[in-house]
Structures are given as C-alpha cells and as structure tokens.
Chain A
Amino acid sequence: MDERRYTRDHEWIKIEKDIAIIGITEFAQDQLGDIVFVELPEIGKFLSKGDEAAVLESVKAAAEVYCPIDGEVTEVNDGLNNDPSVVNGDPYGKGWFIKLRVTDPSSIHQLMDELTYNSFVESVT
C-alpha cells in the first residue's frame, strides 16, 4: 500500500505500515507560489483529521495544511527550515512536511486516488 491519496484541500498522504507521510500537491505548490517559511508541529503531538498540520508562508500570504488523518507526529521535515523552496521544487519528495503514526491506516481509502484527484483539480480550475 504505497500509492498516494489526496484530499480536496490539496494535501497528499502516503502510508507505509502505520506511518503516514504528508505533503501538498504539485497543483497546490504552483497556486501558492514561492514558499518562504514552513511552520511545523512538535514531535509527539496528536493530530486529528482536519487539524492544522503545518502552516506555509508564501511571499504574499499564509496557508494552513490540514491533517488528512488521525495520528501522532513522529517526525517533521527539518530540511524545510533551511530551504522551504523544496516544497515548490519537489512537493512529492523532499518537500514532505510530517510523518504520523496513524491509528487507522485503512481510513486513507476514504480519500481520492490520483485519477479522481486529477479530475477534481480540473473541475475547480
């Protein structure tokens, strides 16, 4: 189970065993423009679905990243402190935000797969 799932708020999530990795989509980074600062949660914090998982600051505005699933923060991407622009350059790779230990990995199936997300993006643009 390593394929990405997507939210209507343009986050992506990938689960390996009980650990989820969370980021934003290519479409979202393009819409936000140059990311200049990423605020990440503390390790050990428990996030419920819909909680603020990170805050991204672009040149002009701040945007919240919502947590797509329940879980405990096990790791944050410290690399974003030095170079937040990797969110723009590599949103599905080096631009991830947090890892979570999730309580119910199967709940990811409620989220969109890639095809569904792509047609969703087309419908909102």
Chain B
Amino acid sequence: MTLTSSNNSTSLKKTPLNAFHKKYGARMVEFAGFEMPLQYRRGIIKEHEHTRSAAGLFDVSHMGQGFLTGNDSGAAIERLVPTSIKGMPLGGVCYTLLLNENGGIIDDLLLTHFIDSKLGSVIYMVLNAVNAQAKFSYISEKLKNLVEVNPVSDRALVALQGPMSKTVISRYFPKASELVFMQAKGMTYDGVECHVSRSGYTGEDGFEISLPANYAEYFVSSLVNEPEVELIGLGARDTLRLEAGLCLYGNDIDESTTPIESGLNWTVSERRRQSGNFPGADLILSQIEEGVTKLRVGLLPQSRVSLRTGNNLFDKEGNDIGAVTSGCYSPTLKQPVAMGYLLKKYSEVGTIVYSEVRGRRLEIEVTKLPFVNTNYYRGK
C-alpha cells in the first residue's frame, strides 16, 4: 500500500503546544501550514468516543484570533457578514460568515463582544487557520477608517468538549458553568487572564479557552491530568464535527457556496434581510425567496464503503447531480457518513442517489443533519 510519509516539519508553523503534543505521543501532520496532532496513541475512534462520553481536550491554537476595536465595531463588521452583530450583548458569541460580493463564503468565524481590560469594548474574532492573516488583512482593508483589526499571535486556544467538560472546567473557572451555549466571559485562573467561551465544534457541550501562549502548556498539562480528560487530535475533531453536521471551511463551504445553498440560512438575520446591506445580498435574498439550485445534504451510504471528498453523485440514470464534500466513518453510528451538495430536486430526505467507488455503484440515502444529536447547554 502507499503510505504518506512523514512531513518535513521544519517549514511548518508550530502552536505553543507543539512540544506538549509530541511528549504525549501525537502523530503530527501538516494542516493549514501548521504542524498539528492528527491523533495520539489511542487512535481516532477511541478519542472520538471519549469526547462523546467524557471530556476531550483539543489544541486549536492554529486558528486565527484577533480583535476589532473602534467605535461601533459591531456596525462596522456587519458590512462584511449577514448576521446582526450591532448591539450584540456583552459576552454574546455569534457564528457568522464572511461573504464576498457574490454571496460566496470567504470564511466562517466566531465573533464575541466583550470588554478587554486594556482595549475596552471589543469584538474578539476566531477564524479558520487557512490564510488567517490574509483574511485579517482583507477585513482591515474593507473596514479601514472604521475599525482597527489586531490579529493576535501571543495567545493559545484550547477546547474542552464533551458531557463532562463542565465539571472539569469548573475546577479552574468556577463561573464557567454559569455560561450557556454561545456565551463568553473573561476569567482568571492563577492570576492569568483567560477568555472562556461555552462553544465548540463537536456538537457536545463544551468550552473554548483563549489564554496567553506562554501559559498554555502549564494549563493543559494540568487539564490533561484530570481523570475525565483525554487529548484529542484533528482526526477525531473532523469525525465529531461531521457527525454533528457542521461544515468544514474549504470542504463543505467556500467561495462557490452561499449561506442558503449550504443550509446556513439562520446566519442571515431578520433585520439584515430587511435592510439587505450585506455582500451578495441580491443573490442571497433571491435564493431565500425563490429557492436554490443546489443544497447541502447529509448522505448515508447503504453499504460499508465510505464516501470521500470529491466523489461524484449520480441519479439512477447516471446523470451528474452533485458531489461529496466530506466523508468519513462515523464512530458513533458505526457506519460511513458524508455531506455533499445535490441539485435541489434530489435533496429531499429519503431520496436515493448513487456514487461510484472503486468501479462499483454505491447506493446512498439523502438524510437529515446532524447524524448525531447535538448536546449544547442552553440553560434551564
């Protein structure tokens, strides 16, 4: 068989936890220009199951962190996204999409409104690792004279995800359990200022903690010794998010897909629909009104053969009707799962479509997303 050989890691960027991962037996791979842990010794399936049943610890420091500062930065960023950001409550976290003029998705990102001890009222941004600096520059260029964009390079970002994450995180940040899904707050541990958010990308209850880079290893070394916690690599991060029906930027969404085609209609807020003042609004509003020609769907292969990114999808007669954008084995369902785009008329749940893998025709059922119910904590 052909195995991909280990990368020459010298040219890759490293997160503040690089040495820590190696110490814990990680298999390191290249991802978005970073050397990142694919998995640790127990492997993807055990890491996945651990996150669903206990608490998984992820290094996501490769993601781009930054601050928007300036008067009314919420109103300013609305020029680039379709979501209501202006007037977002303090501590509110919002998932949104950076759109191009055609309504295509430049990136998906999290925005948080909070008060920084030095900067005052700011919007804290987390965007994808791929081309993060270029995207910060893009935002900066588009919003010049309105706000200042300050990418942050001296902070780590870690995620603790799973049903036991609240119990564990409360030992470090007693007030973290007061947060509900998509809320954040500045908190200190051992006198160090951290930014704690109840969010994540696994479908589970969980937290994301932004903290000074030089403090990261000390913090995770303590966390990983908690009995409920195991380290989780990018491999399981991908299977967890796919089961939860969440999009991977670059695979499931990109500049050729709009929020409506990707089923992320809820990111287009009611107020913004009324005013129509966001990039690509003409197309996006007409897609809301008149429908789309292609749509993101869940795909359930009816055999044990997995679909993979790029597999084409066909109707019974063999006509091209779409393609797979993400596919893997689901450790929870113990069968293959996938997501992809289909022409609208084939996108109804229960429709049977086909693909071809290794010369054989596969039957695939269009299914609802997520594959595994999400477990977010939305309060009592």
Q: Which residue from chain B places its CB closest to the CB of A9 in the assembled complex?
A: B1
Q: Which residue from chain B places its CB closest to the CB of A57 in the assembled complex?
A: B306
A window 70-113: CB within 8 A of B: 88
Contact (Cβ within 8 A) B305 A59: no
Contact (Cβ within 8 A) A124 B329: no
Contact (Cβ within 8 A) A37 B306: yes
Choose from A59, A60, A64 the contact partner of B1 (Cβ within 8 Å). A64
Q: Shortest beta-carbon distance, A35 to chain B, in Å?
A: 10
Contact (Cβ within 8 A) B5 A124: yes
Contact (Cβ within 8 A) B1 A37: no
Q: Which residue from chain A places its CB closest to the CB of B303 in the assembled complex?
A: A37
Contact (Cβ within 8 A) B305 A65: no
Q: Bits for B9-50, please: 1 = Cβ < 8 Å to A, else 0.
A: 000000000000000000000000000000100011100000
Q: Shortest beta-carbon distance, B308 to chain A, in Å?
A: 7
Contact (Cβ within 8 A) B43 A33: yes
Q: Shortest beta-carbon distance, B327 to chain A, in Å?
A: 9
Contact (Cβ within 8 A) B239 A59: yes
Total interface residues on A, CB under 8 Å, equals 27
A19 contacts partner chain B, Cβ-Cβ < 8 Å: no
Contact (Cβ within 8 A) B6 A60: no
Contact (Cβ within 8 A) B1 A24: yes
Contact (Cβ within 8 A) B1 A63: yes
Q: A33-B43, A36-B329 are in contact. Are A55 and B358 (CB under 8 A)?
A: yes
Q: A34-B43, A37-B304, A55-B358 are in contact. Are A60 and B3 (CB under 8 A)?
A: no
Contact (Cβ within 8 A) A62 B306: yes
B208 contacts partner chain A, Cβ-Cβ < 8 Å: no
What CA separation (Å) do A37 and B5 show in the bound complex? 22
What CA separation (Å) do A59 and B238 show in the bound complex? 10
B235 contacts partner chain A, Cβ-Cβ < 8 Å: yes
Q: Shortest beta-carbon distance, B142 to chain A, in Å?
A: 36
Cβ–Cβ < 8 Å partners of A24 in chain B: 1
Choose from B3, B5, B6, B235 the contact partner of A59 (Cβ within 8 Å). B235
Cβ–Cβ < 8 Å partners of A26 in chain B: none
Q: Which residue from chain B places its CB closest to the CB of A27 in the assembled complex?
A: B3
Contact (Cβ within 8 A) A33 B39: yes
What CA separation (Å) do A88 and B2 show in the bound complex? 17
Choose from B235, B329, B331 the contact partner of A57 (Cβ within 8 Å). B329
Q: Shortest beta-carbon distance, A33 to chain B, in Å?
A: 5
B window 222-252: CB within 8 A of A: 235, 238-239
B180 contacts partner chain A, Cβ-Cβ < 8 Å: no
Q: Which residue from chain A places its CB closest to the CB of B331 in the assembled complex?
A: A59
Cβ–Cβ < 8 Å partners of A65 in chain B: 1
What CA separation (Å) do A58 and B236 show in the bound complex? 12
Contact (Cβ within 8 A) A60 B2: no
Contact (Cβ within 8 A) B44 A39: no
Choose from A11, A31, A39, A60 the contact partner of B235 (Cβ within 8 Å). A60
Contact (Cβ within 8 A) A63 B2: yes
A119 contacts partner chain B, Cβ-Cβ < 8 Å: no
Q: A24-B1, A32-B3 are in contact. Are A59 and B304 (CB under 8 A)?
A: no
Q: A57-B329, A59-B328 are in contact. Are A37 and B2 (CB under 8 A)?
A: no
Cβ–Cβ < 8 Å partners of B238 in chain A: 60
A window 42-61: CB within 8 A of B: 55-61
Q: Which residue from chain A places its CB closest to the CB of B48 in the assembled complex?
A: A59
What CA separation (Å) do A10 and B5 show in the bound complex? 12
Q: Which residue from chain A places its CB closest to the CB of B358 in the assembled complex?
A: A55
Cβ–Cβ < 8 Å partners of A6 in chain B: none
Contact (Cβ within 8 A) A60 B328: yes
Most buried by B among A28, A58, A64, A65: A58
What CA separation (Å) do A9 and B5 show in the bound complex? 12
What CA separation (Å) do A31 and B4 show in the bound complex? 9
Q: Bits for A4-17, please: 1 = Cβ < 8 Å to B, else 0.
A: 00000111000000
Closest 7 CB pairs of A and B: A36-B329, A63-B1, A34-B45, A37-B304, A59-B44, A59-B329, A31-B3
Q: A33-B39, A60-B328 provided; 8 other pairs, C-beta below 8 A?
A: A9-B1, A10-B1, A10-B3, A55-B358, A58-B329, A59-B331, A64-B2, A66-B1
Interface residues of A (CB under 8 A from B): 9-11, 24, 28, 31-34, 36-37, 39, 55-66, 88, 124-125
Interface pairs (8), CB distance under 8 Å: A9-B1, A32-B3, A33-B235, A59-B44, A59-B329, A60-B328, A61-B308, A62-B358
